[in-house]
Structure 1
Amino acid sequence: MQQDNAVGACAQASIWMALRTLRRKEGQAAFSPAQITTAATRYLVSGRTLPNRSGLKLEQITEAIRAAGYSPHLIPLKDRQADAAEQARLTRQKLYPYVESGIPVVLALAPEEGLGHAVMLVGHSWSPPVDIGNLRPSETITDQADNVASCYDASNWVSPFLIHNDNTGPYLPLWEDDRDTYSLMQAVSAVPFLPADVFISGEEARQVCFALLVNHVLETLPPNLVFRTYLQDRADFRRSVFNSSMDPEVVRYYRQKWLPRRVWVMEINALADYEKSPEGAAQRLGEVVLDPASEPADGHFLSIHVTSELLPANENGSASQGVMVDRDAFSGAISAVPIDNDQPYGPRLR
């Protein structure tokens, strides 16, 4: 879609595309550009609403998304203290959970020259890092024995993101730093179309799941792990489990486990061969499943599953059992069940 400045500009075009994309999936309204402008300017007006040649402010974008039945989450992307490489890593890390979840994101760009622009983030490509040794970890943990474990976010393997730009067309690459056109380094804010029943953001989900894993399950975190966070519908989650190579006991558990309509999932993967993840050839070592309607500080997980690869070795020098930590969503009771011969399996495929 291209903008018609009689009723809207780039922001309205991006919102319209997102609503059209989500209409079948979520069953919400898909407003016309004129309706988007009307909803956006209901409470905040800074000029003429029709024709709307000047576009929308971030506050107006969030109001239009809220009026359509979603829960907009405004994410600032600029960190003045970060260098260029760290800024790119942090931006990818913040955006990745939504894109990986199939959630459209309105991205506000501010080029050094020219006017600001809004595009819709619709997907990503896959580009393994050339030198794994130069990867910047998302977390570095030091245990009581002074062992240091570096953990990486799956967004390090994402480049470029794909956008719909109403000026030039759909499914265009948004490279990290492109002097000739729009780039990821120009991104200043993002607004994902979170469902109204999801109270935890992608960044909060990643942080909560990581803290649960480190503080309550694993005494020592093995080095070189990759974490991948995404929101998944209950039916899709069960389907992906059923179609995976998980241990049959784990599959049975997830099929019987009560789950809300959606869940946040943080996959735990081995760094080795993670570049083969799109082929299903990477090694998944477990996952944390989180209730998206809970408060982040409460840490209300639904389950934490780790395979034998993540557990301390026994007296024979190896661990043959994994563990499933279950939390009852209604009573809050927590129990742990050992899983015999629980071995690594493939990551979820999209």
Structure 2
Amino acid sequence: MIQKKVLSSSDESSEDEHVEDLMDKQKLVQAKANKPTRTSVSAEVYGQFNKKGQFQAKKVNKSEDAVKRIKQRMSQAFMFSALDEHELAIVIDAMEEKKFKAGDFVIKQGDDGDVLYVVDQGQLDCFKVFKKGEPEKHLKVYQPGESFGELALLYNVPRAATIKAKTDAICFSLDRETFNHIVKDAAAKKREKYEEFLSKVELLKDMDPYERLQIADALKVQKFNQNDYIIRQGEQGNTFYFIQKGDCIATKTENGTEKEVYSYKVGDYFGELALIKHEPRAANIVAKSEVIVVYLDSDSFRRLIGPVDEILKRNMGRYEKYVKK
């Protein structure tokens, strides 16, 4: 069928699994509810920062090069995928550049934490002691574009693991206040907005609401102008799209002539054929007006679209007369 180039991003499924390695979130929340509030500086700050009326955006002076690098790394870190342009600007302003030598400890398990980090350069090892008295376990190596340290901010708990610079490294840090007021809020708003949209998509109407929420969390958004090519025939397919605004057409190029073969409106989807069949894109997708799409990368598609996989396969018949050799 039909599909486009997609922005690079960190592997969301591996990130989810890593967080699960660090701690069971539900158990963590339950434990937090069953014990007295911690009297650490971290806890006090957390309480103050959750008072919405007191929030003032932080601004840290930085070079144009640093701003450019932050933007690049944020585009790779899935945690920031829900932010709009205004929110991104606030977060970029608040970030600080931190340099570490090989062997430096960035965070230590059990310490209070009031910032998260996004890796810009170098590699960092993650270690965790799961039971007191046992040796620490090496969990992963953080690479540029990945983030860590958010659990202490999300749940107001000590650091869940130790992060140590494997090589000389540069990270960008984000304070608890900006994270809680901008990143967390944006994620919640994104979920609400896209869950409502997905509930109206015919393909997903019978999906469990929880399953739709998982898709909403993984969605990324992209805008196109009239006549822009969203997907080009012959490209490798690694993205699945839903149309949130506007209209598109599918075209086939044969013997040097491009011919319209299909049309799409709000709520329609495209891009699944190449993902299901593991083949190059079979057609072009062209924006016929200003278009906003939300999309899943190939890993998220395979992880989250399972409940409607058979429907997708059945609906592939709509393209058959256009994709035959």
Structures share fold, TM-score greater than 0.5: no
TM-score when normalising by structure 1: 0.28
TM-score when normalising by structure 2: 0.29
Bigger relative contact order, structure 1 or 2 (CA pairs below 8 A, ≥6 apart): 2
